[in-house]
Amino acid sequence: MKVMYEDHTTGRGHVKAMLEALDRRDRQTLAEHLLAYRELLTGHIQREDEILFPWMDRNLSPSQVGEISAKFNEVDEKIGFSPDKYLNFIEKLEMQFNAQAGKSG
């Protein structure tokens, strides 16, 4: 499970690098980090689906899973996580990418 924890740190690094690349209008770096982030998420989600979630189903009661979910929600609220935040991030990427593509093409 250490790998899954490290995925979150690595993922945040990719997002930070993407934002910096956008600010510099560095399409090559942006593309590299987008592809690396996609690869990271693909593996991470696969490990969740094949290892973590089946383990939880076998070893935790529904109330324990509910407690974990509630704690995740508390942390999300504390750090300001919201699906809208990430939707806005993707929309910003698309707008800036399309604006850059229009300038070069």
Length of the chain: 105
The number of domains in the chain is: 1
What pLDDT band is residue 104 in, cutting at 50, 70 and 90? low
51 against 85, higher pLDDT: 51
CA 50 to chain centre: 19
pTM of the entire predicted model? 0.70
pLDDT number for residue 105: 55
pLDDT(94) > 90: no
Can you read off the two tokens belonging to residue 47? 């490990």
First to last CA, the chain: 45
Q: What average pLDDT is seen over the chain?
A: 88
Answer positive or negative: Cα dihedral of 78, 83, 84, 85. positive
Residue 15 lies in domain: 2-104
Nearest Cα neighbor of 18 from 1, 35, 5 is 35
Residue-wise pLDDT for 20-34, tens only, equals 998 898 989 999 999
